[in-house]
Amino acid sequence: MSARRNFSNAERESIFSRVKKDHLKETPASLESALVGFHGRSLNYEKYVDLEALWDSPQLAQCFGIAKVLYYNSDKRDPADPKGEGQQGFDKSFFHTHEGADVLLYELKLDGLPSINTYFTDGQLNKYLNKSSRYCLPDQWPDDAGWLGSLKKIEYVDVYKKHQTLLTHNYYLYMFNDMSTLMALPNGDEVDRVLFWCSPDLKVNWRGIIN
């Protein structure tokens, strides 16, 4: 999987000509368009992460909670202040409160690594899966994922309906090329845990993370 933080300078003009106004749509047609809309510019870095060598499918992940607030840092353009302190290129702190349909949090970890928390039972998870198949993670790893920023912490409700806070150190936040599934990876050569956000209403566009 290519974890795309950016596109090369040589690609820049061709990308903008391809995406045209698509990057300002509520549902962009491509990962390129979504990234240009979200960040306010094209990107120029790519890192390959062989997640399939570690786990056959994202669906091996286990659900551990319902996401409430996501905190991350990014130098993306702030739609609320695109020309002032919120202009693109300056690292800023953002938080997103999930206000639509419940957003499920999943964890995928290497054997032997302590789990974050108690996982949902099959019965608890099936209540969501019976509502919508989009509560189920994709069965295959995407060819590309787009970098959104640095994940700082997550507020969520656990299996016992208790509010919890998960602090993350040196994790990057990405979106799958479906522009819906969110993923967080350790920013380093060794990946021992992956986090996912999944919901029927979850998406990413020029306005930011939606739901």
- Where is pLDDT greater, at 145 or 2? 145
- How far apart (Å, rounded) are the C-alpha atoms in residues 153 and 145? 20
pLDDT in tens, 111-120: 878 777 789 9
Q: Which domain holds residue 60?
A: 2-210
Helix 9-19 and helix 31-39: axis angle, to 10°? Answer: 100
pLDDT in tens, 147-169: 999 999 999 999 999 999 999 99
pLDDT in tens, 23-76: 777 788 888 888 888 887 766 566 788 899 999 999 999 999 999 999 999 988
CA dihedral 81, 211, 56, 114 (to 10 degrees): 90
pLDDT in tens, 1-15: 655 555 555 555 555
For the segment 183-194, the average pLDDT, to the nearest whole number, is 91
Percent of the chain with pLDDT over 90: 56
**Average per-residue pLDDT in the chain?**
86
What token pair was written down for 200?
């029927």
Model's pTM, two decimal places?
0.87
Q: How many helices (H) and strands (E) does the chain have?
A: 3, 11
pLDDT in tens, 25-34: 778 888 888 8
* Domains of the chain: total: 1
